[in-house]
Structure 1
């Protein structure tokens, strides 16, 4: 099972949308995919209609059972979009705080996901937009990181921050962690600013970090799919965002070979 964290300390860049639609695209290609909602806002869970409010087992109960060395609850929800989901709810924020006093707290996500090794080809973790205990644990449990970024000046400047964070976690906690790639999202190709920012991303980061060729455009169908609790690939198969996510899935599939050819920013 290859575990990929979808992470960026900046909010509003399409992390949840990417986790859901990349996961569904990979499942459509025949892979077994597990989506992990590691954000107390539970946006991923709601996106796919897996929100359970404060009832039912969630990622919080799975991690608590793992830490207490008791049998884990059945937390996986099977969806009709061929992806499985470990949901979250607002109670996950309580766990985030309690982990501060937990021994080896950076390992809790890795321990929680160990039983799923061998059951899935891909595990995508939707991280919250900050660097807290849960994000650190998610990065510690991951093989690589996919960084969504909107082509706006503050978002592009923030790329250095998340890359620096990943470098620190690789050095201190998870030496196998790599950057899978940077994904440009919510791009409005009609504007000069978007074109300039995309060029800036390639100029500043392209020589050392993989920039996906797939670019997810600003698309009203994405917002509409949210209201239907469906992936945009199911809601509107031929819309530009769906086409982009299918292209991204093919690039992710080939990611291992690409990383062998191109050194990452972590190795600078």
Structure 2
């Protein structure tokens, strides 16, 4: 229960400045990660709807709990935090994330109503607009959208998340050896065979997905002796080193630009530009 409630609290806390009427980003303009989150949501809607029809309430609870714990908290929210907290409030990528969060919470609040009635009413009280129904009990059931089910995206993201898991294990090993502290203190180099290299070279912002300060992708033939591999993920080697530069006081990313002299001491170039526009 607490995980589901905290998931909803996180979403509500990050859509406080989002106007769905004017700031919604079209599906085709969303990132692959955002589309993946919507894909997982609509698979959940399909599974939960059938479970309610079959009176399998345990399936409802376990499906929603697993979605909140794994798909959202451990993956989507974890990667999203930098975009939500550190981007300019009107950044299109931040608004894209809020678009997805808004759809997530509006679907979850209805699906939870039959089993968590009071909590759902509390959540809905923060979502309800002036002309909306008075109670969450009066809302329409979320509709399953076949257009969001893109198997190619799901397959790509599954592969990328496998690499993310390998990187996470390498970071934990480096942390245990006192090479790094927090993951943002790390610079990661991924050595990949041809198949993995062709996939990962098309992925933007690997550093954000791995939650490190710097991420680099290299071919297998350039592999360092310090790179470690995982038996369950052949073709991938990970090397972890301390990131170069100073810690940005705003986003906590270690960047050489945080050492430079500009209008906002202690901030990286990105944060300095954002603060200047506020």
Asked whether the two chains share a fold, i.e. TM above 0.5, the reply is: no
Please give the TM-score of this superposition, normalised by the length of structure 1. 0.23
Please give the TM-score of this superposition, normalised by the length of structure 2. 0.23
Richer in strand (by share)? 1
Richer in helix (by share)? 2
Structure with the bigger RCO (C-alpha within 8 Å, sep 6+) is: 1
Larger Rg: 2
